[in-house]
Structure 1
Amino acid sequence: MDVRFLKSLLAVIDKGSIADAARHENLTSSAISQRIQALEKELGVTLFSRIGHSAKPTENCMRLVPRARKIVQEIQALKTDLDPLGLTGELRIGAISTVLTGLIPPLMKKLMAQAPDVKLSIIPGTSASLYERLMAEELDAVVVVNPPFDVPKMVKKVTLYTEPLAFIKPKSVSLTIKEAMQAVPYIQYDPHSWGGRLVTEYLHDEKITMDPLCDLDGLEAIAILVSEGVGVSLVPYWKGLEKIANNIMVNYVDIKKYQREIVLLYPVQTINHRLINFLVSLVNGE
């Protein structure tokens, strides 16, 4: 069995279609289809049901996924084992949107300079969705908001940095937080998100009530709306905020209790521990 065929199988599952998997694998759709057909013939089962442009994995296919991922990971780890520094191989890293615009660009520059043989696949998503994919072994590690629950013992958690809560408003607004909440439309950081719960806690503690204009789980979109004069908001101050919204004023809520903690989560039993530790050292400026 060709391990490349297993990689294509996993790509179709992760991307949701043969066409998207082909773009990810830098192959043609027909090449991906031929690999899937070869696996189906060798295993004697149907692996996907084709519905329109999507490819839905069958029950038999999903039974194979955990072992297929382990096989692919072990094959990829062979190069890492031959590298005395462990700086060779592939990593699938999930990251929330503000990490993509704040942490990832300088990290990629360092990585290209110090470990050019490491290949990163960066997958965007919300903290909750990325955590689910980590637990399903679809990702090697995730950079997310600190979960509002204890992670299982099989998951390692490393705090990367914290972000203070900040009140952002258009430069034309000179009101305090409480005054602005009553006089200016409030754009609410989704209270159901892992980071949004900290804002909700602050508002509750300060006894501030209002009728939000809308709820958003996209911090970049919130910052742009504030910059355009649509309203005000309370958000974690992330690296890169003022690069995308320069017509704003920022007032920090200097209370540690409401800081958003950004953490790296990865399995304790991982073959990529040396690569992950190296990434952590880059983030910490070591």
Structure 2
Amino acid sequence: MDTKYLHSFISVVDCGSFAEAARRLNLTSAALAARIKALEEDIGTTLIMRAGRNVKPTDAGMKIVDRARSILRDTRDIRAIANNDEPLGELRLGVATSTLAALTPMLLRKIYARYPRMSVFIESGASSSLEERTVSRHLDAAIMVEPVYATAKGFEWQLIKKETLVVLAPGRLGNEDPFKLLAEQPFLRFDRSLRGGQIAEQYLRKHRIVPNERLEIDTLITIAHLVSDGIGVALVPDWAPEWVESLGISRLALPNDAPARNMGIFWDTRGTHAGIISMILEEAGSIF
């Protein structure tokens, strides 16, 4: 059995579409369909079925998904061992959506400089989802908020950056009292289903600040642009200070000891990418 057929099968399952899977694999749809057909003939049963414009695995396909992923991981591990521990193949890295744009370019430059033969797949999402995806071995590691609960056995989270809460305000309000801004100006709330939004909500309650809420949204970049356009003010983790200030936004420090969102890297300590994880931790100061 050719492992590239298994890789194609998993790509179709993950994408739910032949067209999207073919795009990601740099294949034509016909070539991808031929690979799936060859795999089905080898196994002796239909693995993929069409459901309208989308596709999904059959019952037989669902039965082999996890095992197929395991075989692909084992194949990658064998290549790494045979090549003097130099990482090969693909690093599947999760990155919290709120930090994706600010961190990804620098991180990729560091990885490719150290490991030029490594390919990288980036998946963005909420930290809770990335944690689950890493534990289920869909991802090798994730840059995410500190887990609320104890991590699963064999996995570790290590701090790489503390993002203190700050008030974002239009430049013209840069000399105002931050508490006054939070209480009186239209408030752009960071999504309370996310850890950063929860920390902000706890801070507002602690100081008995009832904001004049205008909207709630889960994207820090969008919040920053809205503040820049004068739509309101926000209370958010200080995730990308240089970029934020380039928009002409004022970043106002909170009085006393402001809470912080802890960002770190979560990974399988038994995995084959220990070298890359160590590099990210070593270079955290320049990357983050």
SS at match of 2:162: strand
TM-aligned CA distance change 1:208 to 1:72, over 3 Å? same
Correspondence for 2:130: 130
Cα distance in 1 between the residues matched to 2:61 and 2:221: 38
| RMSD between aligned residues | 2.1
In structure 1, give the amino acid aligned to 2:260: Q
TM-aligned CA distance change 1:9 to 1:188, over 3 Å? same
TM-score w.r.t. length of structure 2? 0.91
Conserved 8 A contact 1:220-1:241: no
SS at match of 1:271: coil
In structure 1, give the amino acid aligned to 2:90: E
In structure 1, give the amino acid aligned to 2:51: I
TM-aligned CA distance change 1:149 to 1:255, over 3 Å? farther
User: 5+ unaligned residues in a row in structure 2: which ranges?
Assistant: none
Correspondence for 2:102: 102
SS at match of 2:172: coil
TM-aligned CA distance change 1:285 to 1:242, over 3 Å? closer
Correspondence for 1:73: 73
TM-aligned CA distance change 1:13 to 1:182, over 3 Å? same
Correspondence for 2:177: 176
How many Å apart are 1:85 and its aligned residue?
4.8
Q: Does 1:227 align with 2:217?
A: no
Cα distance in 2 between the residues matched to 1:25 and 1:263: 30
CA deviations 1:43-97 (Å, max 9, x no partner) are: 2332222123321123322221221112111212233213335343320001023
Structure 1 consecutive aligned stretches of length 4 or more whose deviation exceeds 6 Å: none
TM-aligned CA distance change 1:241 to 1:123, over 3 Å? farther
Residue-pair matches, total = 286
Correspondence for 1:145: 145
TM-aligned CA distance change 1:82 to 1:61, over 3 Å? same
Cα distance in 1 between the residues matched to 2:231 and 2:261: 25
Cα distance in 1 between the residues matched to 2:204 and 2:72: 48
Q: Does 1:249 align with 2:250?
A: yes
Conserved 8 A contact 1:93-1:140: yes
Cα distance in 1 between the residues matched to 2:245 and 2:211: 27
CA deviations 1:198-250 (Å, max 9, x no partner) are: 11111111111124111111000000000000000000011366358612100
TM-aligned CA distance change 1:57 to 1:72, over 3 Å? same
TM-aligned CA distance change 1:3 to 1:242, over 3 Å? same
TM-aligned CA distance change 1:241 to 1:132, over 3 Å? farther
Conserved 8 A contact 1:86-1:275: no
Correspondence for 1:64: 64
CA deviations 1:163-208 (Å, max 9, x no partner) are: 1111010012243233223321100001111221111111111111
Q: Does 1:90 align with 2:94?
A: no
In structure 2, give the amino acid aligned to 1:109: R
Indicate the percent of aligned positions where both proteins have the same amino acid. 31
Conserved 8 A contact 1:49-1:55: yes
In structure 2, give the amino acid aligned to 1:86: E
Correspondence for 2:276: 275
Conserved 8 A contact 1:165-1:254: no
In structure 1, give the amino acid aligned to 2:114: Q
Cα distance in 1 between the residues matched to 2:257 and 2:13: 41
Conserved 8 A contact 1:220-1:244: no
Cα distance in 2 between the residues matched to 1:279 and 1:23: 29
Cα distance in 1 between the residues matched to 2:255 and 2:33: 56
In structure 1, give the amino acid aligned to 2:215: C
How many Å apart are 1:22 and its aligned residue?
0.6
How many Å apart are 1:254 and its aligned residue?
6.4
Q: Does 1:165 align with 2:172?
A: no
User: 5+ unaligned residues in a row in structure 1: which ranges?
Assistant: none
Correspondence for 1:216: 217
TM-score w.r.t. length of structure 1? 0.92
